[in-house]
Structure 1
Amino acid sequence: MGNCRETSGDGGLKTENGAVYLRKKITLIRAISLTIGTIIGSGIFISPKGVLKNSGNVGVSLLIWVVSGVLSMCGALSYADLATSIKKSGGHYIYLLETLGPVPAFLRLWAEFVMIRPANIAVVTLAFGRYIIEPLFVPCNAPPSLVKLISCIGIAFVIALNCWSVSWSANLQTTFTILKLVAIGLIIIPGMIVLAEGRTENFQDAFDTSSLTMDRIPLAFYSGMFAYGGWFYITFVTEEVVNPERNIPITVIVSLIIVTICYLLTNVAYYTVLTTSEVLTSEAVAMSFAEQTLPQISSVISILVATSCFGALNGGIFASSRMLFAASREGHWPNLFSMIHIRRHTPLPALLLMMPLIFVMIGIGDLYGLLNFYSFSRWLFMGLVTIGLIIHRRKHPDLAHPFKVPLIIPIVFSTMSLFIVGTSLYSDPVNTGIGCLITLSGLPVYYLTIHKQRVPRCLRETFNLLTLKLQVLLEVIPQEIKTY
């Protein structure tokens, strides 16, 4: 270790004896910043509408926000258990591979990069585009085509930044985490002031059952759980976390407590100032709130919300590229995607792969349709991961678990995840059915990946030549030192 020489400081990648590998650079503070920064994105600024619309009333919607936080904590604690016993990066994919086998792991990977990741990023990017451009068109709504154009420019910039420099994207993530907490503070504080003045009329008949629609409650949970999505990203980069046995459990517990409190207070602030009809008709709930409470700086609120979305995009892309990196390393994806740029020290191929489908999803443009579209596969596989934890415990009772959760926690999370997924087939059969079919379309791809020798030799040689050419063009090489 004495002859380790550092690179240009690009965030954790160094060379030792000419080898390129990832170093442990994510401290506890950075881990908490990454987790909070990826959880708080567009969800709290767009999901209140989806939760309210599908829950039917204010009271049930607030309960859904609390229950979503508790369920997310159960999932996060289960993932922390897995992360401290299976010390590989890759999150969902790696845990399914190690507990349930290669087929569900590959289907999760396939769904992630064909559907879940592009749709998720498109939802956040569209929110970014709307909030960044909305102030220019008040009191009218911004043209959808312009929102999509700004969204495409924004996501292209984020991916370019992650391709260029790990340290720049990491520093930007910390800055945006602070800004998004400021944005939430500028919603909570005025809302609490108005509530203290006695404005409680919007909470009258909060649990009015006449508007309750039980068959749409799962879709309300989709919107609520979407806002908490991101607690698992720290497990995508396990190999880069300093002392993961200690820091990953602390990170998810602290982050989710802070976020749940912020989300509940933010929704109370929304409902104090805005009527249910105003929330349901608003294309940008935080903007509508700001126009009534802080009209002088409503444009500032909008820009802060846009930066919050931008920060979530940055953190999500940074982490999710590691899943593809890990899958390629395991042989379930072309090995080009486990390579790193020789000078920029970033997983360039994995990052570039995400762009085309993201642009397609942005073109679709329906935020809530996209949420329902990808949520089926996302929560199905999360439920399978926690089922895998239970099975793994039974199969390997002597395996060390530095952080061991009671089995009731993964049981609760698995049950709720699969219940929501099952009922969603009834609530929104079209989008969830499409999501199911796209997930299953990965089976023939898995067969070809595992049985490469059955692919015609001329195709294999062409593919290998293309890989070599792309490796030279992109200037990438495999990671050369084992980090797990």
Structure 2
Amino acid sequence: MKEKPLENGFKPRLDLLDATMIVAGSMIGSGIFIVSSEIARNVGGAGYLIAMWVLAGVVTIIAALSYGELSAMFPKAGGQYIYLKEAYNPLVGFLYGWAFFTVIQTGTIAAVGVAFAKFTSYLIPVVSEDNHLIELGGLHITAAQLTSIGVIVLLTFLNSKGVKNGVFIQTFLTMVKLISLFGLIVFGFIWGADAEVWNANWQNAWKLSELTLTNGEMIQSAVTGVASLGVIAIAMKGTLFSSDSWHNITFIAGEVKNPQRNIGLSLFLGTVIVTIVYVLTNIMYLAVVPMQEIAFAKSDRIGVVAAEHIFGAKGTIIIAVMIMISTFGCNNGLILAGARVYYTMAKDRLFFAKAGTLNKHQVPEYSLWLQCIWASLLCLTGKYNDLLALVIFGVLIFYVLTILGIYILRKKQPDVPRSYKAFGYPVLPAVYILVATGLAVLLLIVETSFTLPGLAIILLGIPVYYLVMNKKQKERVNA
């Protein structure tokens, strides 16, 4: 006898705290412990370093407030895929889903997994990137890559056993992350702050310059004119990536209690909390660590350098544990939410049909494992910074289209109930669109080796979409 599919639909189980922890936990990964070094090398001054984090936080909060209107209009699983489909057409929605699966979500999961393995090697050296286990021609598989894949598989398994499992892990680990970060900030100011270091770091705070290291001496080269736009774009790449994935809660809207209220509120609370933590962390770096050490920290691990200044030799172990917890929790949120997009696409017959089914725990298990397999393969293809650059360009494109969709839906669907409307409309959403579009264009110019492949992957979705539609048409004819 054929087993009847267990398809009972999503059940609303998550409250405001759960939703807020998913927002914050998905945002806080490894970036805050790494990317400030690259930013410092590109912008030079302490003022610009802080400004990059503040600007990323402001535009992220603006975007989150704007998404609140969309989540109130369409409080169901799928999030951004649904918003784009409703504002434009099924093709645009599919292109997002295609990019989401091939690059955006899976690439982010892979990057965070790689970061987890990188810091695990502090405690367990055998899992380092230098330990090559398999070498076949151009294929090099390291212990670090297998560790990152192992974490992705483990979290996928846990989330396949029910949304409550994933949410419990997320809420607990996010609380641990926030407490740990606040602790690092407080102890940094109490034990590690040095007035001489602080004053020296702020001497050329607003001199935009490129930092280089020559014979152990830091050299500042002023950046002016059009070149300044390029270095700001590269700097913003890191801060925006570190602040990304805040919208993951919209993908599981069907499992949130009172989604019209709680999703928008959780987006605001989560993004504000994380922005404050990020800015305070960087102010602490400047109070504890000389600019030369910030800019030229080994492997860009500024978090490790700061912890060593604060806690001494034990700092390396403390920060490694913090980042392991942070990246583990971040990937849990990404894995938990991402599979819901493929589920919704499958319901529209734009993805594998089996991805549109739920298991006995009311979670899209097949979608979870498809995501797991592809993210694991991406772990084998690139390093953290490469994956970061590949992801952020596509992210910016679809954020711009989604927020532009608010204006379109105000005209296209004026009668749809909106329990919440975008704060500052029409000005603030327009500000985000202008800033994000400018950054996307600049990244396309200055980092073509990563952005062009990302754009190519997105555009490849167009013929794929028409192949899928052609197949659907033939099925209708033959039915």
Shorter-normalised TM-score: what interval?
A: 0.7 to 0.9
What amino acid sits opposite 1:169 in the alignment? G
3-state DSSP class of the match of 2:193? helix
| Cα deviations by residue, 1:177-232 (Å, 9 ceiling, x for unpaired) | 12111321232112222337554122221222343443121121121111111221
Structure 2 partner of 1:224: 239
Paired residue secondary structure (1:186):
helix
What letter is aligned with 1:316? L
> For 1:65-104, what aligned pairs fall within 5 Å after superposition?
65-104=53-92
> Which of 93, 97, 105 lines up with 1:109 in the alignment?
97
**Is the CA contact (8 Å cut-off) linking 2:357 and 2:366 kept in structure 1?**
yes
TM-score normalised by structure 1 residue count? 0.85
Distance 1:85 1:165 in 2: 27
Task: Give the superposition deviation at 1:397.
Answer: 2.7
- The superposition leaves residues 4-50 of structure 1 with CA deviations (integer Å, 9 ceiling, x where unpaired) of xxxxxxxxxxxxxx861211111111111111111112221222233
Match of 1:256 among 258, 263, 271: 271
After TM superposition, give the deviation of residue 272 of structure 1 in Å. 2.3
CA distance in 2, matches of 1:125, 1:87: 30
Matched residue SS, 1:232: helix
Alignment match, 1:179: 176
Q: Partner residue of 2:427? A: 408
User: Which residue matches 1:312?
Assistant: 330
Counterpart of 1:448 (choices 456, 464, 467) is: 467
Q: 2:197·2:289 contact (CA, 8 Å) conserved in 1? A: no
**1:439-478 correspondence runs (5 A):** 439-453=458-472
CA contact (8 A) 1:80 1:235 kept: no
What is aligned with 1:246?
Answer: 261
Question: 1:160 & 1:417 partners in 2: Cα distance?
Answer: 36
Seen in structure 2, the aligned counterparts of structure 1 residues 453 and 308 have a Cα distance that, compared at 3 Å, is closer
Distance of 2:446 and 2:466 partners within structure 1: 33
Find 1:156's aligned residue among 153, 156, 171. Answer: 153
**Change in 2 beyond 3 A, CA 1:143/1:277:** farther
User: How many residues were matched structurally?
Assistant: 440
- Whether the aligned pair in 1 keeps the contact of 2:56 and 2:239 (CA below 8 Å) is yes
Counterpart in the other structure of 1:437: 456
The reply to whether residue 143 of structure 1 matches residue 161 of structure 2 is no
Q: Which residue of 1 aligns with 2:23?
A: 35
Distance 1:379 1:311 in 2: 24
Q: 2:194 touches 2:287 (CA, 8 Å); kept in 1? A: no
- Aligned ranges for residues 32-431 of structure 1 at < 5 Å? 32-136=20-124, 143=130, 145-193=142-190, 194-195=192-193, 199-200=197-198, 201-211=200-210, 212=223, 213-279=228-294, 280-283=296-299, 284-295=301-312, 296-342=314-360, 344-405=361-422, 406-431=425-450
Distance 1:53 1:330, change over 3 A: farther
- Calculate percent identity across the aligned residue pairs: 29
Name whichever of 409-418 and 207-216 sits farther off: 207-216
For residue 20 of structure 1, give the secondary structure of its aligned residue in structure 2.
coil
Take 2:7 and 2:464, find their aligned partners in 1: how far apart are those partners?
Answer: 32
> What one-letter code is carried by the residue in structure 1 that aligns with 2:202?
F
Q: Give secondary structure in 2 for the equivalent of 1:21.
A: coil
Q: Partners of 2:87 and 2:253 in 1: how far apart?
A: 17
Q: Which ranges of structure 1 fall in alignment gaps of 5 or more residues?
A: 1-17, 462-484
3-state secondary structure, aligned to 1:24: coil
TM superposition shift of 1:169: 1.9
Kept after mapping to 2: 8 A contact 1:383/1:418: yes
Q: Distance in 1 between matches of 2:450 and 2:342?
A: 25
Q: Residues of 2 paired with 1:87 and 1:426: CA distance? A: 37
8 A Cα contact 2:189 2:284, kept in partner? yes
Q: Secondary structure at the match of 1:164?
A: coil
CA–CA separation in structure 1 for the residues paired with 2:362 and 2:475 = 35
Change (3 A) 1:407 1:131: same
In structure 2, how many angstroms separate the alpha carbons of the residues matched to 1:38 and 1:163?
A: 18
- Over 3 Å counting, the alpha-carbon distance change for 1:252 and 1:19 in structure 2 is closer
- CA distance in structure 2 between the aligned counterparts of 1:143 and 1:271, rounded to whole angstroms: 31
Q: Which residue pairs with 1:482 in the alignment? A: none
Would you say the 8 A contact 1:123–1:371 is kept in 2? Answer: yes
Conserved? CA contact 2:85–2:93, under 8 Å: yes
| TM-fit CA distance, 1:102 | 0.9
Provide the aligned C-alpha RMSD in A.
2.4
**TM-superposed deviation, 1:251:** 1.1
**Distance of 2:307 and 2:55 partners within structure 1:** 27
> 2 CA distance for matches of 1:453 and 1:303?
50
Shift of 1:456: 9.7
Aligned 8 A contact 1:325 1:339 in 2: yes
- Superposition TM-score, scaled by structure 2 size: 0.86
Deviation at 1:103, TM superposition (A): 1.1
Query: What CA distance in whole angstroms lies between the structure 1 residues aligned with 2:348 and 2:65?
Result: 25
